[in-house]
Every structure is written in C-alpha cells, then in structure tokens.
Amino acid sequence: MSEPQVSLDGLDSFLQTLVAEENASPHTLKAYRTDLTQFAGFMNAWLSGCETDYRGRAPRPRAATSPSEEGAAGSTAGEHGERQAEIVLVDPAEIHSGSVRGWVARMHAAGLSPVTMGRKLAAVRSFCTHLCRTGVLDGNPARPIRNPKTPQTLPRFLMESEVEKLLDAPDGSPEGIRDRAVLEVLYATGLRASELTGIEVDDIDLDGRTLRVLGKGRRERIVPFGVHAQRALQEYLPVRKRWIEAQPSEPAFFVTPRGKALTTAGLRRLLARGLEHASIAKQVTPHSLRHSFATHLLNAGADLRAIQELLGHASLGTTQRYTHLSTAQMKAVYDRAHPRARRADTE
C-alpha cells in the first residue's frame, strides 16, 4: 500500500482565499501548496513523536530479505493491485511555535538556503494568519520565528557596452529577427521572464510605444518602450504572421517557428544563444537584463519611485537595492579619480 498523503486541514480553503483576495497566480499557489504540504508532513511526524526531515520523510526501512518478509510486504496491495493512498489531515490547531522552530531546524539540517527557508516560513505565517482570521488559532505561532539572515548580494547586470553587443548579436534570419525583438523589449522594459512570455497581441500599442503587463499578484501596469524596441517589434510582425499560419488563434505575441507561445525555457535558450554570439562570458539570465534596465536608469538619474513603477515592485524597499549597486559604482569611480582617494605610490 502507498504511503499516506499528508495535508493540512483547511489548506484548500486557504488557497482559494489567496485567489479571491490577493489574485494569487498559479505559480504562487503551487509554491504555497508545496511548502505547506511539506510542513504538514513534518507536523504529522512531530505529533507522532517520529524523527523525520523537514518534509516528514523518515529514513527508508531496510529492504525485505526473507521470503516471509517479502510476502508480508506484498500482501498489503491485495489481489487487485496497489490500493489508493490514504489521506491524512493534520489539525492546524496543533501548530505552535515549538513545532515551527523544529521545522526550521530540519531545514537548516538539510542545507536549504536562507532564501528558500524564508519563503517556506512566509507560507506558514500566511496560513497561520488565515487560521487566526477564521478562529482556528488565537495567535500566529509562526510570527515570532525570524527568517534566517540572507547574504546581501548585488544584482548581476550587464554594462551598457555589453548590452549593445548582445542586442546586435542576432542575425537577419526569421529567428534572429524574433530574438532581437525579444531582447530589445526585455532591456527596454525591464520585464520579468514570465511577463514577457505572457504578452499577448492586444497588449502592445506599437504607435504609442507602450505595453500592458500583468505582473505579480495579477497587478496590471503600463510600461513604455523606446524607438529601438518599436522598430524591432515592427520587423518581427511579418515573421510572427508566417509562423502562426498553422496556429491562427494563438494569442501570445512572441512565438516559436511552430506557432506556439515562447516559453520561459525557450527565452533562456534564446538569451544563451545571443550571449554566445556576442562573446559575453558572464552568467546572465533574463532577470539580469531586468537588473541592467533598472541600474542603467538609476545611474542616468531616474527617480527611484519611477523605477519602482516600471518594474512593478510592490515595495520601494525591493527597488532600493539598486541604490546600493549605484553607490558601489560611484565609490569605485571616486577611488579611481579623486587625487586624495588614490593610494600614494610612495610613503
């Protein structure tokens, strides 16, 4: 018989609330379900006094070695094959700070990164907040648990000269024309990868040079783009028209030669191809172009709140990390240029 499937009682109701009240995306719902199901597995073992990892998985039992053991193990399936796995619901009223701390300790032991642990803790906090609102809990047991400290890393970005080389890399083939349009739009708008692949035909105003974007939390924003991106998009339109002849109802603006919507995996391959042709050896992702967009705007004197709106950040604090990057650059320039900052060659 299969191992029982463990879940938190009320999890589906919580996820439905996220959709109704916060317009949560399918990606967000999937992440919450994964994290809270792992917590449920741990809670089930914790309440039973069993030692497990953060997912509620115990060490595997030794394999059956004797005929009698093999027979006993196989008899649970019955004559008609394996039975359907039992579903075990964990009572969320049993959640307390001690169990949450125990879960964090198991995540530490498993070597999870501080960012991953913080995300999983946020899922439990949000679920417990929902339980407080519905009267299941009197207080949020996860609130006192602090997130692990994360190292302060500056966003990876390309220099302006490197961006120019990347944008010039695609050739004049149909795919090259598509690739240039994609790269121009990424750099011109600072879109996330999922936002770019989600663009539909009706979202683009070529004459007005604006894009309607559906970002995180289903928040809609209008993002402008420049004449270079406009020209690249206009050159791509006839290519798209030929490619979608077999899929005339495809709403996605950026498509493959088969007329299917470009995926985020396809976008990463497209970027890798451009980096290779441009002879750029840096590890660059689509998000790096988003960082480049923000950094170059800030260095040119753009207002931080304007950049926040363009990027679709809910919090200004998220945008402010680019000020650290700009400050670091200014300090490097100062150290190289100012006569009293340069180290003397001789004492």
Tokens representing 170 are 């695609």
Active-site amino acid positions: 192, 216, 287, 290, 313, 322
> Which residues, at least 6 apart from 33, have a Cβ–Cβ distance to it below 8 Å?
11, 15
Positive/negative CA dihedral, 189, 195, 197, 201: negative
Return the closest-CA partner of residue 3 out of 90, 91, 94, 83. 83
Helix/strand/coil for 205: strand
Tokens representing residue 217 in the block? 């939390």
What whole-number distance in Å separates Cα of residue 324 and Cα of residue 271?
27
- Provide the 8-state DSSP code for 24: -
- The continuous run of DSSP H or E covering 175 comes out as helix 174-189
Length of the chain: 347
Among 41, 19, 40, which residue's Cα sits nearest to residue 30?
A: 19
Strands 5-8 and 87-90: parallel
